[in-house]
Amino acid sequence: MQSSAAKNIFEVRGAKTKAAILDTALKIASLAGIEGLTIGELAKAVGMSKSGLFAHFRGKDNLQLSVLQAATEQFVEAVMKPAFQEPRGEPRIRALFKNYLDHLNNEEALPGGSVLISASIELDDRPGVLRDFVKKAQNDLIKNIEKAAKIAVDEGHFRSDLDVELFAWTMYSFVLGYHHFKRMLESPKAEQHVKRSFKGLLEVSRAPGTQISKSKKLKRA
């Protein structure tokens, strides 16, 4: 047990700097992309030597993979987990959407936009471990949206004949559109557009005669 404890202490020392490295790496990758992230630049940014930093990972592939894992974890913590603690049905869908937007608006954590979105475009023609990871992460996200939509159907909030796959696809397309319009086109109306579109999506998805107000008043009514 003591040796195990000792080992943990060692691990803590390493893991701490490793976490700091990944934190900086996430921001750089957000700006420069996962392929634009270089070891030299990262080392300079965290104040280490290239070789010292390199030793934490067994190669660049591994560094990139770690960054993608960190980005996914960050996303799950900020968007998925809190949403799935909301009440089942439309409230949860709403939370999912709101958290996603807030996450994309978090300029401190993501100064250059979502690492996962840009990575999925950078990697879409480069087979390998990185691509596989991003693909799985995105698929998981979609599946979770579908799951939440299915629950909303079961709860009677959404139409029983709703195509949950189409719902998830549409919702994700709106998120992509927002990300794109905000970041590249710098359109000030991006947020207004995405919110109105999402509201419309909710309306056409609801079961007839059902409406769950934003302030959730109807829940107790």
Partner DNA sequence: TCGCAAATAGAACGACCGTGCTATTCTACC
Partner DNA sequence: GGTAGAATAGCACGGTCGTTCTATTTGCGA
Q: Give residues in contact with a second copy (CB under 8 A).
A: 30-33, 35-36, 111-113, 117-118, 120-125, 131, 134-135, 138-139, 142, 163, 165-166, 169-170, 172-174, 176-178, 180-181, 183-186, 189-190, 193-194, 196-197, 200, 204
CB of 118 to DNA, least distance (A): 17
Residues paired with 206 in a beta bridge: 158
**Per-residue mark of binding to DNA, 2-31 (x: CB under 7 A):** xx-xx--xxx-xx--x--------------
Classify each residue of 180-217 as buried b or exposed e, where b means 16 or more C-beta atoms within 10 Å of its C-beta.
ebbbeeeeeebeeebeebbeebbeebbbeeeebeeeee
Interaction of residue 47 with DNA, rule CB under 7 A: yes
Among 31, 33, 45, 48, which residue interacts with DNA (rule: CB under 7 A)?
A: 48
DSSP-derived 3-state class of residue 221: coil
Interaction of residue 65 with DNA, rule CB under 7 A: no
Among 31, 33, 50, 201, which residue interacts with DNA (rule: CB under 7 A)?
A: 50
By beta-carbon proximity to a second copy, the closer residue of 91 and 171 is 171
Tally of CB atoms within 10 A around 10 = 10
Classify each residue of 147-170 as buried b or exposed e, where b means 16 or more C-beta atoms within 10 Å of its C-beta.
ebbbbbbebebbbeebebeebbeb
Distance CA 14, CA 21 (A): 11
Chain positions contacting DNA, by CB under 7 A: 2-3, 5-6, 9-11, 13-14, 17, 37-41, 47-56, 59-61
